């Protein structure tokens, strides 16, 4: 049962146990709430028979106190079991999603936009949290407690019981059958929400370009249309729930009429006693109230299924895993007939074979879109090859845990990601727990001191969101300082100097020259100056390794490399 709950509602085992406990608490709480009805039934009977004395008065007072005490205890249990348990599970769910994201290949993120992922982590988790804290356990608890009470009614008089409870399964079935329609409405709403959030984010990020091209108003008009569409879809989703829930709630009230009608008919024939009839009227007045709320809860649970499915889809995505105890004998990176496809019909690489040897610089060059960056991503197992294999130290990296593998890699990207923190902490990311002295030494090796000394607080200067207070060259040098600090045996450089001026490029080239000594180095570059000192060049064109060898060898072949060299000269 726990496994089914975990799978259906995207829960951990502890969360599933907490959910069962919450349902039990709701069942007991609903049944205990019938105690005042029982006391009223017996008190009315004694009043009609005129048998009230001091002993019975004490009994009813004592019964009221006990009922209130039990209601308090069970309500306290229900509150803790539903709310606290749900909030703990919500924390686990968010952490689990974050762990799933950490282990997913980059190909997964290529198929998802940022707004979609953010919606799953923030909005979907919030919807699920609210549904399970306010509705789900209460729904199942009400169903179970209602069945228990309904069965007990059949003990007194099956005809009155049938007249009282027949509306319950009909109302529940009506709402349950609406699940497909509700899911369709909610999926449309969620899809439009993602589109709207994506548009808002894009508008903020591209505001400078929109203004400079006088395209701001046109873009805002289009975004306004998406927002209005989201408003319509939200209203439609709410109406889609209400269209089934409200009529079902109204239908419940028919049960009071049928109970009164059947009871009156039977009473005229002298079959049930007046007190039995009175008891049924009392019970149905209490029975339909929680069931009315149950129908709302069922509607909310139906609506939340879309969010649950989205969360499950992320958790169940194929993750990159492998052995943790990885210690390669050497640091050679070898591609053996490697092919890669983002989608089944979109081939990026085909039969790529080469070796980046330890202690050598291997440069990947070629036309834009040829697959150079894909090769470097496969080398670090950001993605997995769809055919062939990539080995590191002779071991297939698809069998190695990515985190165990990346201990041996330092990567300098063209687009540097910095955090709204101090320069010291931004460099320290390269090595967790590094001392200030180690950070400062790495900064010196990366030629960072020249601009750090100009900062108002030196290494303790907060550089803003994504390093907005720094120039492109300064940001790049911080990235190289991280690589110095990590001091990994493999260096991957992806267009590290592509967008820099000559002065910054020279400084960074000096830093890179110190960084790559005695390491396995793979450089992606378009500028021939960057790769002039490489030991080996691999020309990647249209997803294939068309040429490879030493620079002087390729220049003599008068192939792609020679033409690129001549063009840049």
- Position with higher pLDDT, 226 vs 304: 226
Evaluate if residue 450 carries a pLDDT over 80: yes
Distance of CA 183 to the CA centre of its chain: 20
Q: How far is CA 328 from CA 186, 278, 332, 335, in A?
A: 50, 82, 9, 16
Phi/psi class of residue 50: alpha, beta or left (left: φ > 0; alpha: ψ in -120 to 50)? left
- 194 pLDDT band, cuts 50/70/90, is confident
User: What average pLDDT does range 473-482 have in this prediction?
Assistant: 86
Q: What mean pLDDT value characterizes the chain?
A: 82
**What pLDDT score was predicted for residue 504?**
62
Evaluate if residue 392 carries a pLDDT over 80: yes
What 3 state SS string does 180-200 have?
A: HHHHHHHHHHHHHHHHHHHHH
User: What average pLDDT does range 71-81 have in this prediction?
Assistant: 89
**Residues 6 or more apart whose Cβ sits within 8 Å of residue 422:** 457, 459, 460, 461, 462, 463
pLDDT per residue as tens digits for the range 211-236: 888 888 888 888 888 899 989 888 88
pLDDT per residue as tens digits for the range 282-302: 777 777 776 777 777 777 777
- 497 pLDDT band, cuts 50/70/90, is low
User: What average pLDDT does range 502-527 have in this prediction?
Assistant: 75
Evaluate if residue 498 carries a pLDDT over 60: no
Evaluate if residue 424 carries a pLDDT over 90: yes
**What pLDDT score was predicted for residue 390?**
93
pTM: 0.66
**What pLDDT score was predicted for residue 111?**
66
> What residues does 336 pair with on adjacent strands?
389
User: What average pLDDT does range 200-204 have in this prediction?
Assistant: 81
Percentage of the chain exceeding pLDDT 90: 7
Ordered by where they begin, the domains of the chain are 2-315 (1.20.1560.10), 333-568 (3.40.50.300)
Return d(Cα 447, Cα 508) in angstroms, integer.
8
Return d(Cα 243, Cα 277) in angstroms, integer.
34
Return d(Cα 320, Cα 514) in angstroms, integer.
33
pLDDT per residue as tens digits for the range 523-552: 887 777 667 778 888 988 888 888 888 888
pLDDT per residue as tens digits for the range 144-174: 888 888 888 888 888 888 888 888 888 878 7
Highest-confidence range of 343-352, 403-412, 511-520, by mean pLDDT?
Answer: 403-412
Task: Write 57-66 long-range contacts (CB < 8 A, 24+).
Answer: 63/35, 63/39, 64/36, 64/39, 66/35
Return d(Cα 94, Cα 99) in angstroms, integer.
9
Measure the CA angle with vertex 17, ends 16 and 19; round to 5°: 65
Name which of 372, 322, 369 is nearest 352 in CA terms.
Answer: 372
User: What average pLDDT does range 372-396 have in this prediction?
Assistant: 88
Q: What is the SS3 assignment for 66? A: helix
**What pLDDT score was predicted for residue 107?**
67
b/e per residue, 312-324, with b = 16+ CB within 10 A?
Answer: eebbeeeebebee
- 72 pLDDT band, cuts 50/70/90, is very high
User: What average pLDDT does range 20-30 have in this prediction?
Assistant: 87
């Amino acid at each position: 049962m726990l496994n089914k709950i975990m799978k259906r509602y995207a829960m951990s085992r502890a969360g599933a146990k907490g959910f069962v406990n919450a349902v039990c608490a709701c069942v007991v709480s609903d049944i205990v709430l019938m105690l005042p009805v029982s006391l009223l039934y017996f008190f009315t009977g004694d009043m009609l028979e005129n048998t009230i004395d001091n002993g019975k008065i004490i009994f009813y007072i004592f019964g009221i106190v006990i009922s209130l005490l039990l209601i308090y205890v069970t309500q306290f249990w229900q509150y803790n079991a539903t709310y606290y348990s749900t909030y703990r599970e919500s924390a686990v769910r968010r952490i689990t999603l974050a762990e799933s994201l950490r282990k997913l290949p980059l190909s997964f993120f290529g198929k998802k936009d940022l707004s979609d992922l953010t919606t799953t982590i923030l909005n979907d988790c919030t919807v699920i949290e609210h549904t399970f804290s306010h509705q789900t356990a209460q729904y199942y608890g009400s169903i179970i407690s209602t069945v228990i009470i309904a069965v007990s009614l059949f003990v007194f008089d099956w005809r009155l019981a049938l007249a009282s409870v027949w509306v319950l399964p009909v109302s529940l079935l009506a709402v349950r059958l609406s699940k497909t329609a509700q899911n369709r409405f909610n999926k449309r709403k969620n899809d439009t929400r993602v589109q709207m959030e994506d548009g808002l984010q894009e508008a903020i990020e591209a505001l400078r370009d929109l203004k400079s091209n006088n395209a701001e108003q046109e873009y805002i008009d289009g975004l306004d249309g998406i927002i209005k569409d989201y408003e319509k879809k939200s209203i439609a989703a709410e109406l889609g729930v209400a269209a089934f829930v409200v009529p079902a709630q109204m239908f419940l009230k028919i049960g009071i009429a049928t109970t009164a009608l059947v009871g009156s008919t039977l009473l005229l024939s002298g079959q049930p006693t007046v007190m039995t009839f009175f008891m049924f009227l009392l019970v149905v007045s209490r029975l339909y109230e929680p069931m009315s709320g149950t129908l709302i809860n069922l509607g909310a649970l139906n609506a939340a299924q879309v969010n649950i499915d989205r969360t499950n889809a992320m958790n169940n995505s194929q993750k990159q895993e492998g052995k943790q105890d990885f210690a390669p004998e050497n640091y050679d990176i070898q591609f053996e007939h490697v092919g890669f496809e983002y989608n089944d019909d979109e081939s990026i690489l085909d039969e790529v074979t080469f070796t980046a040897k330890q202690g050598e610089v291997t440069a990947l060059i070629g036309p834009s879109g040829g697959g150079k960056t894909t090769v470097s991503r496969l080398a670090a197992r950001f993605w997995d090859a769809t055919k062939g294999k990539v080995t590191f130290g002779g071991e297939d990296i698809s069998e190695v845990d990515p985190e165990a593998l990346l201990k041996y890699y330092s990567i300098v990207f063209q687009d540097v990601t910095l955090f709204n923190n101090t320069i010291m902490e931004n460099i320290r990311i390269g090595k967790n727990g590094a001392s200030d002295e180690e950070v400062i030494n790495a900064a010196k090796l990366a030629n960072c001191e020249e601009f750090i000394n100009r900062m108002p607080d030196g290494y303790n200067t907060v550089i803003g969101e994504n390093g907005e207070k720094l120039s492109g060259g300064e940001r790049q040098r911080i990235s190289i300082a991280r690589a110095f600090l990590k001091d990994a045996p493999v260096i991957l450089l992806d267009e590290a100097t592509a967008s820099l001026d000559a002065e910054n490029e020279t400084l960074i080239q000096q830093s890179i020259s110190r960084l790559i000594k005695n390491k396995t180095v793979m450089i992606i570059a378009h500028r021939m100056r960057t790769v002039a000192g490489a030991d080996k060049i691999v020309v990647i064109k249209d997803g294939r390794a068309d040429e490879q060898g030493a620079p002087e060898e390729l220049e003599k072949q008068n192939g792609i490399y020679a033409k690129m060299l001549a063009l840049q000269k």
